[in-house]
Amino acid sequence: MTDQLKNNLKNLSLTFSEIDNNRFEKLHQITDYIAKTKQNKICHLIFICTHNSRRSQIAQALGLAAAQYYGISDVKIYSGGTEITSFYFQAIRALKNFGFVFTSEDKSGNPHYSLQNFKGEVFFSKKFNDPANPMEHFCAIMTCADADSNCPHVSGAEKRIALPFEDPKKYDKHDNAEHYYSQCLREIGREIMYVFASLK
């Protein structure tokens, strides 16, 4: 983990008071699922949004980082969508600015990116039931309202939790898009950090 990433995670951990009170019930559901599952087996979390291009990818990266930051083992973190597009460049830029190190593995329409901070983790847009993800015994965390409403049943999920975040896509053509993507990342990161901090 880079010093930049570690420092930014520490700074996020100091902002839990900014979490909306209405969110804590869902965050505690995730913490409880992890705690109970880890007693007997490895815990699997899949963050799901429609295109697996922005929020779910950001959540996956921050989940990996939060688990490592707090020394929480036996938790595997994935992402997926209800459709396939590509990992959006503004989301990648926001993660890089935060301290993640990505390298592209190809030049296709849906490129794969290795996350250098975490060995073996490859990011690309995929459906939630892609072979790269577990097929059963996982918690599905719905990070967007569209995926939540259009995918009321996630096959194989032991638990399904709706935790929607504002879509940064609406700022794609904004002059200050980079700023809004950074805000989105910090909002997602703050709540994910809280989930893993609550396991300590």
DSSP-derived secondary structure for 78-97: EEEESS-----HHHHHHHHH
pTM: 0.95
Query: How much of the chain exceeds pLDDT 90, in percent?
Result: 80
Whether the pLDDT of residue 199 is over 90: the answer is yes
pLDDT for res 146? 74
The total of other beta-carbon atoms located within 10 Å of residue 155's CB is: 10
What's the pLDDT band for 152 if we cut at 50, 70, 90? low
98 pLDDT tier (thresholds 50, 70, 90): very high
- What percentage of the chain has pLDDT greater than the value 70? 96
The position carrying tokens 């779910």 is: 56
Residue 60, pLDDT > 90, answer yes
Radius of gyration of the chain (CA): 15
What CATH number is associated with residue 100?
3.40.50.2300
**What is the pLDDT, as a whole number, of residue 151?**
67
Task: Report the phi/psi class of residue 50: left, alpha or beta, with left for phi > 0 and alpha for psi in -120 to 50.
Answer: alpha
- Report whether pLDDT(170) > 80: yes
Q: Which residue is listed with tokens 């504002």?
A: 166
Q: Rounded mean pLDDT of the chain?
A: 93
Buried/exposed 102-124: b ≥16 CB within 10 Å, e otherwise: beeeeeeeeeebbbebbeebebb
Q: How confident is the model at residue 104 (pLDDT cuts 50, 70, 90)?
A: confident
* Average of per-residue pLDDT across 110-124: 91
Task: Supply the pLDDT for residue 24.
Answer: 97
* Domain range for 155: 3-166+173-197
- The arithmetic mean of pLDDT across residues 107-130, rounded, is 91
Say what the pLDDT of residue 148 is.
61
What's the rounded Cα separation, in Å, for the pair 29 and 52? 23
Q: Strand pairing partners for 77?
A: 45
Number of structural domains in the chain: 1
